[in-house]
């Protein structure tokens, strides 16, 4: 496992992750309390995807192990800032079933699970917490647990990062249009090899009315469009994927017989937003690009433009 470093909006990443958890918490009538330290920089440098994976894992577990009507709290705090880096603390607590001291001792071990009877009812989480521990330590932090049976659980972790830089202006404009069921019945094909990214995007677009199909590489996307020539209204295409990358997939889709393939909007999803990268997307036959991490406001604007052409 390796970490990758990009500059990203910390709070925007949290919004994306929390959005995917909200609907699950609402189903159980949970109260969610959010607290984010204003001293945390808008942009930080680090591995956004791995951090989102940790937070998603812990929040999902909190929802899973908290009975209906319970409470889940999320807190982010700037612990330390110096000339070299910053240290942040994330705390996720719940009013769930709790974990005994004996069970806690095993919980972060690889393939260990706290309680076999609990796992039968709720599903196991041991492997996920082993991965959490490993990633946190790679980020220069540590993770620990405070809990008592019947008194809920509090998972806390720290990590180090660098202050980042970015252009906040593109995020300033709010969408005033109501996008609830705005694209009802329209078909979106998401081509993305990272399952977590696909799940986040699907959750964020849940109320738009879109019918969403996810595939894991360019070859699957090509086969899907070739077998269903008139089905899809728009494609979100990742670039770096196994089997077949996004560039090659787009070229082959454009080469398929029939004018519909030429008119089908294909939007790149990429962390590379330099001029040369954008030109490569256009040269391959893509219509536009969305920078990663995806900003939901910009995604909505892209959908509005290309589905209403």
CATH of the domain at 298: 3.40.50.2300
Q: Is 298 helix (H, G, I), strand (E, B) or coil?
A: helix
- Predicted confidence (pLDDT) at residue 171 exceeds the cutoff of 50: no
- The answer to whether the peptide bond before residue 293 is cis (omega within 30 degrees of 0) is yes
Query: Which position has the higher pLDDT, 232 or 306?
Result: 232
Query: Residues 23, 206: contact at Cβ < 8 Å?
Result: yes
- Tokens representing 273? 């937003």
- Predicted confidence (pLDDT) at residue 167 exceeds the cutoff of 70: no
Do 142 and 194 fall into the same domain?
A: no
In a domain, 189, yes or no: yes
Q: Where are the alpha helices (DSSP H) in the chain?
A: 10-27, 48-64, 101-107, 116-122, 126-138, 195-204, 218-227, 246-254, 259-263, 275-284, 296-307
CATH of residue 52: 3.30.565.10
Query: Residues 293, 16: contact at Cβ < 8 Å?
Result: yes
Do 156 and 271 fall into the same domain?
A: no
Residue 81's pLDDT band (boundaries 50, 70, 90)?
Answer: very high
Tell if the pTM clears 0.75, that is, is over it: no
Tens of pLDDT, residues 48-77? 888 988 998 899 889 888 999 999 999 999
Tens of pLDDT, residues 128-163? 788 889 999 999 999 998 988 888 899 999 999 998
Q: Is 283 helix (H, G, I), strand (E, B) or coil?
A: helix
In a domain, 65, yes or no: yes
pLDDT, residue 259, reads 54
Do 86 and 51 fall into the same domain?
A: yes
Q: How many CB atoms lie within 10 A of CB 100?
A: 13
Do 153 and 186 fall into the same domain?
A: no
In a domain, 1, yes or no: no
Tell how many helices (H) and how many strands (E) occur in the chain.
11, 12
Tens of pLDDT, residues 88-141? 999 999 998 888 777 777 777 654 444 444 444 444 444 478 888 999 999 999
Tell me the residue range of the domain where 277 lies. Answer: 169-307
């Amino acid at each position: 496992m390796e970490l990758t470093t990009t500059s990203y909006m910390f709070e925007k990443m949290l919004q994306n992750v929390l959005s995917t958890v909200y609907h699950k918490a609402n189903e159980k009538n949970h109260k969610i309390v959010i607290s984010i330290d204003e001293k945390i920089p808008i942009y930080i440098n680090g591995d956004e995807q791995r951090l989102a994976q940790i937070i998603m894992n812990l929040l999902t577990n909190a929802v899973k192990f908290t009975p209906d009507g319970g409470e889940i709290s999320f807190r982010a705090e700037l612990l330390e800032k110096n000339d070299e880096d910053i240290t942040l603390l994330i705390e996720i607590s719940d009013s769930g079933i709790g974990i005994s001291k004996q069970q806690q001792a095993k919980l972060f071990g690889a393939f260990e699970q706290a309680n076999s009877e609990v796992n039968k009812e709720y599903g196991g989480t041991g492997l996920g917490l082993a991965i959490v521990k490993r990633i946190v330590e790679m980020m220069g932090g540590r993770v620990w647990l405070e809990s008592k049976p019947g008194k809920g659980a509090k998972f806390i972790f720290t990590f180090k990062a660098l202050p980042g830089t970015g252009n906040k202006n593109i995020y300033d404009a709010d969408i005033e249009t109501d996008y609830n069921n705005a694209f009802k019945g329209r078909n979106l094909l998401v081509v993305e090899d990272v399952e977590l990214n696909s799940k986040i995007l699907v959750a964020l677009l849940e109320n738009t009315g879109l019918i969403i199909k996810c595939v894991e590489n360019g070859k699957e996307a090509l086969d899907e469009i070739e077998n269903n020539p008139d089905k899809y209204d728009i494609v979100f295409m990742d670039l770096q994927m196994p089997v077949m990358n996004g560039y090659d997939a787009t070229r082959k889709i454009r080469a398929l017989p029939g004018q519909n393939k030429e008119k089908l909007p294909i939007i790149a999803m990429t962390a590379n937003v330099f001029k040369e990268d954008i030109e490569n997307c256009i040269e391959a036959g893509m219509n536009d690009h969305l920078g990663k991490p995806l900003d939901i406001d910009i995604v909505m604007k892209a959908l509005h433009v290309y589905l209403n052409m």
